[in-house]
Amino acid sequence: MTTPKRYERIAFVASPSGEAQAALTQLSALYGNADPDLADVVVALGGDGLMLQTLHDHMRSGKPIYGMHRGTVGFLMNEFSTIDLHGRLEAAQESVIHPLLMRATDAGGVVHIHHAINEVYLFRQTAQTARLRILIDERERMPELIADGVLVATPAGSTAYNLSVQGPILPINAALLALTPISAFRPRRWRGALLPNTAYVIIEVLEGDKRPVAAVADHDEVRDVRRVEVLSDKTISMRMLFDAGHSLEERILSEQFGY
């Protein structure tokens, strides 16, 4: 009697690129292409942008997501191969991540709610620097930050925008968030802070009419914000699958040594 496979029904999604679409055709012919609602696992074919979109699309489904690199940036992806996909899925290691919840209030008082897997960031909309007030767990920690902006990054997102603005790389299983300034002017020597992932971060925009600021949760943008609240949403757990020896934990660790 054949033992049922844990990931028998596979749903494939692919970016619009020719390379990804060719991979979709190959893999669908070999393994079928199940309806995502009925699938045991979702396999994303593309780059990190597609992986983030796929995680957003299936954020509340509880389905594991496995990526194969057929795009530009592939930090979150496994190597592409058409061989023994069922075996690779069975042997894959699972990383569980929680998204950030952003609650942004705009100049008209409208509240916008979005989730972010990588980071939430605030950024000036004009040539003038932003003036921001930062509170952690409703206690003022910085009365005024003058900068291009500031971001809150998850461990999964710590190697993305956060790293490019000199923020710290966080191990994937660290119960931390990175709070990192973007081109800080004052305090000039402030390089950010490490926060527990239970932190409730509030960022208030000072002089918002004169110095307008936008807030972004991954790819969802809100213009002319006045107050942004950020916290880790523990009600959502997303499961990412990685080939043995190439787990997200290993990739983040390797990044810290320049690989």
Q: Give me the long-range contacts of 183-189 (CB less than 8 A, separation at least 24).
A: 183/147, 183/148, 183/149, 184/145, 184/146, 184/147, 185/129, 185/146, 185/147, 186/144, 186/145, 186/146, 186/147, 187/142, 187/145
DSSP H helical segments within 139-180, as ranges?
A: 161-164
Is there a catalytic annotation at residue 48? yes
Is 173 flagged in the annotation as binding? no
**39 in a labelled binding site:** no
Query: Binding residue per annotation — 148?
Result: yes
Q: Is 107 annotated among the ligand-binding residues?
A: no
Strands (E), 49-198: 65-69, 93-97, 100-106, 111-116, 119-124, 130-136, 139-153, 176-186, 193-196
Distance CA 114, CA 222 (A): 10
Which of the residues 48, 84, 209, 224 is marked catalytic?
48
Do the annotations mark residue 78 as ligand-binding? Answer: no
Q: Is 55 annotated among the ligand-binding residues?
A: no
- Asked whether residue 118 is marked as a ligand-binding residue, the answer is yes
DSSP state of 247: -
Strand partners, 238: 97
Q: Tokens 């994303």 identify what position?
A: 44
- 119 annotated ligand binder: yes
**Annotated binding-site residue numbers:** 48-49, 118-119, 148, 156, 159-164
**Annotated binding-site residue numbers for NAD(+):** 48-49, 118-119, 148, 156, 159-164
**Catalytic residue annotation:** 48
